[in-house]
């Protein structure tokens, strides 16, 4: 079985990237991580990707406008014959250009149970809202931020005395399990999009 050539886009330390790379080492895993792209030269995930034997490149996002950066990134994705893109802490808002290039071939992980708490500071907002449950979501990317057909979610309880940090740490553990599972579903064809609806095989 030919594995789906997958790229990961990061801006920071790349902990979800590491989880995806680890899962992709399984012989029966349907995706192969062949490229990591960072939006800044200081992203800690670059060294981790290279240490794992994966090609990694970085850009200085300050040297480009949004679409200019995306065109440069897209050129690298095409050069590497990428078939599927995973956003794993890519902290740049995407323009219609890149989203259009990768329609239904780009997925993202977000640290909340969407549609709750789109955007930033999700853990603080969950605590302020008095939620009893919180979690993470993997979804196909659409132009509206943190929207798009949902592939999967994982929930955690909000415990008495939780802080942003303790809640974030509990959610992150679930992210590291959910994202590899979601990528496996998409790369294997067990999850696809028709119209704007998820179809499960």
- What Cα–Cα distance (Å) separates residue 161 from each residue in 116, 127, 130, 158? 21, 10, 12, 9
User: How many angstroms separate the CA atoms of 151 and 106, rounded?
Assistant: 12
Query: What is the model's pLDDT at position 186?
Result: 98
User: How many angstroms separate the CA atoms of 18 and 59, rounded?
Assistant: 20
Domains 1-102 and 110-139+149-201 share a fold: yes
Using the predicted structure, report yes or no on whether residue 1 has a pLDDT greater than 80. no
User: How many angstroms separate the CA atoms of 61 and 161, rounded?
Assistant: 38
User: How many angstroms separate the CA atoms of 20 and 198, rounded?
Assistant: 22
Query: What is the model's pLDDT at position 29?
Result: 98
Neighbour tally for 189: CB within 10 Å: 11
Please identify, in words, the CATH class of the domain defined by 110-139+149-201. Answer: alpha beta
pLDDT tens digits, 86-145? 999 999 989 999 999 999 999 999 999 999 999 999 999 999 999 999 999 999 999 999
Query: What is the model's pLDDT at position 104?
Result: 97
- Check whether domain 1-102 has CATH 3.40.50.170, yes or no: yes
The domain segmentation of the chain, as residue ranges, is 1-102, 110-139+149-201
Query: What is the model's pLDDT at position 79?
Result: 98
Query: What is the model's pLDDT at position 136?
Result: 98
Using the predicted structure, report yes or no on whether residue 30 has a pLDDT greater than 80. yes
User: How many angstroms separate the CA atoms of 194 and 200, rounded?
Assistant: 10
pTM of the predicted structure, to 2 decimals: 0.97
Show which residues are catalytic: 110
């Amino acid at each position: 079985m030919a594995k789906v050539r997958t790229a990961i886009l990061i801006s920071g330390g790349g902990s979800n990237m590491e989880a995806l790379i680890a899962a992709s080492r399984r012989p029966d895993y349907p995706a192969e991580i062949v490229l990591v792209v960072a939006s800044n030269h200081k992203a800690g995930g670059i060294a981790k990707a290279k240490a794992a034997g994966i090609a990694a490149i970085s850009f200085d996002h300050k040297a480009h406008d949004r679409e200019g950066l995306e065109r440069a990134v897209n050129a690298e994705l095409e050069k590497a014959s990428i078939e599927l893109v995973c956003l794993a802490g890519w902290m740049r808002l995407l323009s219609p250009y890149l989203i259009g290039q990768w329609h239904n071939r780009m997925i993202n992980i977000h640290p909340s149970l969407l549609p709750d708490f789109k955007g930033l500071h999700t853990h603080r907002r969950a605590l302020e809202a008095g939620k009893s449950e919180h979690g993470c979501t993997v979804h196909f990317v659409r132009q509206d931020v943190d929207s798009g057909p949902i592939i999967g979610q994982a929930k955690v309880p909000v415990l008495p005395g939780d802080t942003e940090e303790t809640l974030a740490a509990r959610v992150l553990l679930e992210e590291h399990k959910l994202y590899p599972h979601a990528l496996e579903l998409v790369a294997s064809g067990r999850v696809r999009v028709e119209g704007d609806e998820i179809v499960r095989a």
